[in-house]
């Protein structure tokens, strides 16, 4: 894993998103599953659906990061693409009844930043160690 930015990023992001998903449930007690206004987790708004999504993304990233480079690259790029879409759509959903994952401005910034990092790593090639020729 030390030689693979994809595996490292997937593993770290996966662990963080799993933790965020679990902690999110502690702050969203009593909030409707699809509530358009969530509870604050630091500066981010979350609702139970948002927490479930964090758990699913975290599990996928962590599994991929622990499995192999190719899967980590694929999952990083896939999650990055989804976060790019969510970050852009989130800009238009903020005071809308379609905001079923309780996005706020801080969420949008985080999703866009995550997208840039995950796509950048996922679409790049991991360095392969140089092979010695006899």
Task: List per-residue pLDDT tens for the chain, 134 residues long.
Answer: 678 999 999 999 999 999 999 999 999 999 999 999 999 999 999 999 999 999 999 999 999 999 999 999 999 999 999 999 999 999 999 989 999 999 999 999 999 999 999 999 999 977 655 444 44
DSSP output for 34-47: T-SS-EEETTEEE-
Look up the pTM and report it.
Answer: 0.89
Q: What is the pLDDT of residues 77-115, one digit of tens each?
A: 999 999 999 999 999 999 899 999 999 999 999 999 999
Pick the closest to residue 34 from 48, 51, 14 (CA basis).
48
């Amino acid at each position: 894993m030390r030689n693979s930015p994809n595996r490292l990023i997937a593993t770290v992001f996966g662990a963080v998103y799993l933790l965020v998903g679990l902690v999110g449930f502690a702050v969203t007690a009593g909030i409707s599953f699809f509530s358009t206004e969530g509870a604050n987790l630091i500066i981010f708004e979350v609702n139970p659906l948002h927490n479930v999504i964090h758990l699913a993304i975290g599990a996928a990233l962590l599994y991929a990061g622990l499995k192999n480079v190719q899967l980590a690259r694929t999952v990083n790029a896939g999650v990055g693409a989804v976060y790019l879409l969510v970050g852009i759509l989130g800009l238009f959903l903020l005071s809308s009844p379609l905001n079923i994952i309780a996005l706020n401005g801080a969420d949008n910034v985080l999703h866009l930043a995550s997208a840039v990092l995950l796509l950048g790593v996922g679409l790049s090639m991991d360095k392969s160690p140089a092979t010695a020729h006899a």
